[in-house]
Amino acid sequence: MNGGLLVAGTTSDAGKSVVTAGICRWLARQGVKVAPFKAQNMSLNSFVTREGAEIGRAQAMQAQACRVEPTAHMNPVLLKPGGERSSQVVLLGRPVGEMSARGYHGGRQARLLGTVLDSLAELRATYDAVICEGAGSPAEINLRRTDIVNMGIARGAGLPVLVVGDIDRGGVFASFFGTVALLVPEDQALVAGFLVNKFRGDVSLLEPGLEMLHGLTGRRTYGVLPFRHGLGIDEEDGLRVSLRGTVRESVVAPPVGEDVLRVAVCAVPLMSNFTDVDALAAEPGVVVRFVDRPEELSDADLVVVPGTRGTVRALEWLRERGLADAIVRRVAEERPVLGICGGFQLLGEHIEDEVESRAGHVDGLGLLPVRVRFAREKTLTRPVGEALGERVEGYEIHHGVAEVAGGDPFLDGCRVGQTWGTHWHGSLESDGFRRAFLREVAAAAGRRFVPAPDTSFAALREEQLDRLGDLIEHHADTDALWRLIESGAPQGLPFIPPGAPA
């Protein structure tokens, strides 16, 4: 078997990432050697592979669904926004420069088609099946000429296309029909059919519409997936009010101790890897919320300043909103604060940045004895260490080089009193360390909170990936899906006018 499939969507956030992961987990459970692929990803949530390459976290999650190690070939192009009009371009896991949207779509993107097709070919030569994820909508007719992630990759590799629509938003039939009707005939020939996502209610009420859609387009619907809370794990750019649902859908377990622990995460601009706090939200009795006002820090037992693609900009934002002063007061009162990556950098004394913001010398909050200099070379590592008597694994993604001049060592950063700073993302996923850290926080906050002794973040993630696989297995026509992956789009699919101009 040398199969493949492109999962496209009628819109952004239609559910492409989780459907792709669900198909990957379903195939892996059938014994198929499967890999994920996304030609081009735009996200501030990224991950470091074992060989030191940076890719989107969604593809790392999908690789976990496949039960394989992620590689740079699974996401050859990653765009990391640095503002409204520019992004850092990461090619095969390494940054190659900043580029405006106009410059990228004006020619650079099209020149990368060969690179992404080579990566896809490498995966197809290694795996039985490759499940590809599109981006946005395949019917972005203004971008079709330079497209390398939707119909461009489908045409280049001869992949059948399954279009996912979010029925919870409404208008799904018009979206399905319009998506096909806006494509040129050669693209339409690869669109095999549709998958309805996030349906609530009695499927029999939907069936007449699906039959009419088949009559109008000549394309079948491969499944109707029911609405499920909390399936958006490791999303590209979504930010939910509550992260509890990102790790499990079951009823929240009561705290083990007498008190809950409240965690406030500063919602800084260009926030990156906010998934770092998902492991905290997985703990019974831990309440995680994102905040943007100083008064919201007052009842927090722990304040987290997360990673950001714009450290200097985030620092200015904290000062403008009064959050910086609130954090300084917390530190003076010996109340816990954790800075991660960019959040760690801005807690230091000085920042010298001629790379990210080009702001030159900037004073930090002065809460940790750290000076940061931004280097052009990006640090991309998977460190392993020890803290609070527990083994810790993490990953680093940063241009800032920290010179630590005091405090107690903490995950290659430092700790002064109840102020902690590290460049390590993902450290809180290490169960023993997370429990030890929460015990420290609870003691400093005066809370009678006790971490659950048996919470396994890795097991919860596996549980959720299995739920995604179950959605596909129980609610999609898996026999038809298998034929589509193995044999490609059906022959003789009708053209739906008007089609895009040639």
Q: How many CB atoms lie within 10 A of CB 280?
A: 24
Distance CA(376)–CA(95), nearest Å, equals 10
Backbone angles phi, psi at 38, to 5 degrees: -140, 115
* Options 132, 341, 399, 423, the catalytic residue: 341
The DSSP H or E segment spanning 411 is none
Residue 434, classed as helix, strand or coil, is: helix
Q: Identify any residues that bridge with 400 across adjacent strands, giving them in sequence order.
A: 374
- Cα separation, 266 vs 146, in Å, equals 37
Locus of tokens 């940063």: 398
Kindly give, in sequence order, each residue whose CB lies less than 8 Å from that of residue 492, ignoring residues fewer than 6 positions away.
Answer: none
Q: Are 418 and 336 in contact (CB under 8 A)?
A: yes
Contact between residue 339 and residue 365 where contact means Cβ atoms under 8 Å apart: no
Rounded distance, CA 204 to CA 184, Å?
Answer: 33
Contacts of 358 (CB under 8 A, 6+ apart): none
Residue 398 catalytic?
no
Indicate the residue type of 493: L
Q: In what order do the strands lie in the sheet with 220-226?
A: 34-37, 129-133, 3-9, 161-166, 191-199, 220-226
341 in catalytic set: yes
10 Å CB burial of residue 379 (0-12, 13-18, 19+) is middle
Is the CB of residue 365 less than 8 Å from the CB of residue 327? yes
CB burial of residue 315 (10 Å; 0-12, 13-18, 19+): buried
C-alpha 319/C-alpha 314 separation (Å) is: 9
CB 186 within 8 A of CB 161: no
Which of 192, 226, 276 lies closest to 494 in space, CA to CA?
Answer: 192
Could you give the CA distance from residue 459 to residue 300 in angstroms, rounded to a whole number?
28
Kindly provide the b/e burial profile for residues 206-226, where b requires at least 16 CB atoms within 10 angstroms of the residue's own CB. beeebeebeeebbbbbbbbbe
- One of 73, 398, 399, 425 is an active-site residue; which one? 425
To the nearest 10 degrees (0 to 180), the angle between helices 57-66 and 16-29 is 20
- Which of helix, strand or coil describes residue 157? helix
Q: Which of 384, 387, 388, 362 is nearest to 373 (CA)?
A: 362
Q: Which residues are catalytic?
A: 341, 425
